[in-house]
């Protein structure tokens, strides 16, 4: 028999031997990673659990394309710590110096729960580093799919909105949409297509895509059929300004809900094409809304804009008149008419974000109209969530407005996009000011002075209540005059008639624009 001490000593030595093998393997892997010529040197922001997992993944075979060179964290307890041999070397404020000293190729933010303000602070500290800034997926995405840790993505403007993203209870929307027939006008546009995608998730029996641009309609039709094979998708080519086609589609499909997203939205273009703006935004809305009433639609939702408040542009004035038309119809029948008003959406077709992105790709300059111009911004999914939520809240005649937080300076948006591209504003990419365009305001408003602001059941959605109810007997003569001006008058006559229909409309002259420079 062996002495007990020999058995114990053998066990201890075996454990040390196995641990030594594991250490040697880890050291060997790290050595291979260090000498890999393709490895990108990464400065990691955040020395918490996500940072530890990210570094471990980088040092494993699956993360062989990255080499963590250091961490930064504002927690004083973590100073001088090492995570898998990678030291915590400073705070967020130290990012510029460390990125230069360590020759970082990328900065990765490993804080899935980071607030918007923290992300903005990290971006501000990284300005001048000339390296791309990336981030991990959200906590929600990581919990749903742990493998998402490897899906490091570039930090986006959505991460930097001056407010926290709006969360809504999606389950309560099932009674509104499940098993229903739903029609969306302007289905091929940025808002319209996202409306279709989100509505399809709630299993309507039929989703009618009304759109005049056939290529966009074709692409959306293919996408929705592939993702939602149990939903009947009906692509309908048509123009909202053609009453016969609108009536035909509604009679054939018999929708229970109509979301009216079709509109001309470009301010400068509509200043040059006022008749088309009135045709589409006013008469198109009137056509679809009245056809919905005639066909017994349960709910009608108009997508509106903050530019309808105290409008200085033709586009804004036409959208304000469209709001008034919808409110005047709310007393005529069983259809519940609702208006949803919100600001700019990030990344929509023709918006400032893709415009800036294209200018940055070309090497600049990035053109901003005015150093003080501000806008409200939200993401397209948020805008659509608001529209759907408002549909549920609406009982008829309401104008719902999202609490969108603070307005964002457009020049700050441009600077952030340049930094996110790994470049330095005013050095690598110049920012130039081109001057306000006709119809463009320095800042937008969400409510008029005559509107009373009321809370709703949702903390982030408010209701704009006008002291005077919109009466159809006031609008009807104005609409008749507008129709005559579109058919036979010149642009000056049209603008005069539009001003009569929308008393808050204050057209801007080129002279008034010059005074804002």
Asked if pLDDT for residue 513 goes beyond 50, the answer is: no
498's tokens: 């539009």
What's the pLDDT at 21? 73
The residue to which tokens 């009982």 are assigned: 395
| Residue 106 near residue 134 (C-beta atoms within 8 A) | yes
Q: How far, in Å, CA of 315 to CA of 333, rounded?
A: 29
Q: How far, in Å, CA of 163 to CA of 159, rounded?
A: 10
| Residue 486 near residue 494 (C-beta atoms within 8 A) | yes
What's the pLDDT at 505? 95
Q: Which residues are catalytic?
A: 307
What's the pLDDT at 301? 97
| Residue 302 near residue 322 (C-beta atoms within 8 A) | yes
pLDDT of 394-410, one tens digit each?
898 899 998 887 888 99
Least confident segment among 11-15, 33-37, 127-131, 328-332: 33-37
- Rounded to 5°, angle at Cα 420 from 418 and 425: 25
- In sign, the C-alpha dihedral spanning 70, 71, 72, 74 is negative
What's the pLDDT at 300? 97
What's the pLDDT at 33? 46
What's the pLDDT at 516? 46
- Rounded to 5°, angle at Cα 84 from 47 and 26: 155
What's the pLDDT at 216? 94
Q: Name 373's Cβ contacts closer than 8 Å, sequence gap at least 6.
A: 409, 410, 411, 436, 440, 442, 443
Asked if pLDDT for residue 511 goes beyond 80, the answer is: no
10 Å Cβ neighbour count for 29? Answer: 14
How buried is residue 434: exposed, middle or buried, by Cβ count under 10 Å (0-12/13-18/19+)? Answer: exposed
What average pLDDT does the chain have?
87
CA 262 to chain centre: 18
Residue spans of beta strands (DSSP E) within 231-320:
232-237, 257-260, 299-305
| Residue 209 near residue 184 (C-beta atoms within 8 A) | yes
Q: Which domains does the chain have, with CATH numbers?
A: 35-155 (3.40.50.720), 178-344+377-404+450-514 (3.40.50.720)
Asked if pLDDT for residue 225 goes beyond 50, the answer is: yes
| Residue 241 near residue 287 (C-beta atoms within 8 A) | yes
pLDDT of 94-124, one tens digit each?
999 999 999 999 999 999 888 888 988 999 9
| Crossing angle between the packed helical segments 243-253 and 284-294, to the nearest 10 degrees | 30
Percent of the chain with pLDDT over 90: 59
What are the CA-CA distances from residue 319 to residues 94, 406, 444, 481, 516 (Å)? 49, 23, 14, 17, 25
Alpha-carbon torsion, ordered 437, 191, 360, 44, to 10 deg = 130
pLDDT of 18-66, one tens digit each?
777 766 655 555 554 454 567 789 999 999 998 998 888 888 754 567 8
| Crossing angle between the packed helical segments 472-488 and 314-329, to the nearest 10 degrees | 140
The residue to which tokens 């035909």 are assigned: 248
pLDDT grade for 433, boundaries at 50, 70 and 90: very high
10 Å Cβ neighbour count for 358? Answer: 10
What's the pLDDT at 153? 84
Asked if pLDDT for residue 302 goes beyond 90, the answer is: yes
| Residue 135 near residue 159 (C-beta atoms within 8 A) | yes
- Rounded to 5°, angle at Cα 324 from 402 and 342: 20
- Nearest Cα to 84, choosing from 38, 26, 31? 26
10 Å Cβ neighbour count for 208? Answer: 24
């Amino acid at each position: 028999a062996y002495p007990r001490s020999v058995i114990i000593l053998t066990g201890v030595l075996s454990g040390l031997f196995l641990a030594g093998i594991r250490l040697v393997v880890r050291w060997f892997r790290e050595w291979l990673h260090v000498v890999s010529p393709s490895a990108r040197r990464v400065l990691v922001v955040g020395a918490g659990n996500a940072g530890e997992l990210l570094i471990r993944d980088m040092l494993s075979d699956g993360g062989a394309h990255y080499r963590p060179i250091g961490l930064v964290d504002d927690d004083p307890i973590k100073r001088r710590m090492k995570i898998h041999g990678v030291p915590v070397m400073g705070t967020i404020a130290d990012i510029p110096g460390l990125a230069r000293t360590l020759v970082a190729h990328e900065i990765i933010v490993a804080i899935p729960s980071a607030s918007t303000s923290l992300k903005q602070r990290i971006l501000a500290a990284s300005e001048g580093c000339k390296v791309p800034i990336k981030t991990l997926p959200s906590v929600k995405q990581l919990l749903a799919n742990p493998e998402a840790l490897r899906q490091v993505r570039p930090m986006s403007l959505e991460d930097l909105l001056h407010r926290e993203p709006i969360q809504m209870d999606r389950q309560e929307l099932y009674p509104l949409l499940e098993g229903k027939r739903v029609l969306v006008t302007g289905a091929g546009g940025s808002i319209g297509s996202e409306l279709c995608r989100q509505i399809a998730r709630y299993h309507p029996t039929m989703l009618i895509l009304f759109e005049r641009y056939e290529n966009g309609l074709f692409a959306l039709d293919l996408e929705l059929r592939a993702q939602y094979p149990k939903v009947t998708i009906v692509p309908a080519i048509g123009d909202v300004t053609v009453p016969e086609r609108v009536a035909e589609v509604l009679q054939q499909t018999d929708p229970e809900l109509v979301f009216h997203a079709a509109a001309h939205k470009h301010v400068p273009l509509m200043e040059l094409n006022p008749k088309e703006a009135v045709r589409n935004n006013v008469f198109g809305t009137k056509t679809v809304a009245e056809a919905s009433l005639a066909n017994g639609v349960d709910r009608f939702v108009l997508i509106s804009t903050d530019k309808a408040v105290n409008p200085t542009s033709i586009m804004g004035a036409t959208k304000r008149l469209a709001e008034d038309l919808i409110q005047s119809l709310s007393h005529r029948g069983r259809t519940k008419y609702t208006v949803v008003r919100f600001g700019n959406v990030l990344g929509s077709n023709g918006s400032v974000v893709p415009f800036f992105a294209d200018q940055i790709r070309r090497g600049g300059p990035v053109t901003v109209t005015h150093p003080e111009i501000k806008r409200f911004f939200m993401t397209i999914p948020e805008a659509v969530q608001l529209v759907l939520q408002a549909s549920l809240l609406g009982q008829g005649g309401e104008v719902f407005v999202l609490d969108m937080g603070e307005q964002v300076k457009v020049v700050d948006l441009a600077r952030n996009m340049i930094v996110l591209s790994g470049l330095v504003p005013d050095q690598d990419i110049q920012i130039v000011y081109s001057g306000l365009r006709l119809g463009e305001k320095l800042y937008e408003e969400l409510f008029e002075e005559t509107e009373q602001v009321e809370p709703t059941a949702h903390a982030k959605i408010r209701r704009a209540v006008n002291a005077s109810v919109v009466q159809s007997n006031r609008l009807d003569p104005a609409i008749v005059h507008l129709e005559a001006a579109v058919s036979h008058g010149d642009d000056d006559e049209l603008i005069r008639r539009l001003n009569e229909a929308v008393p808050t409309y204050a057209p801007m002259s080129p002279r008034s624009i010059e005074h804002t420079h």
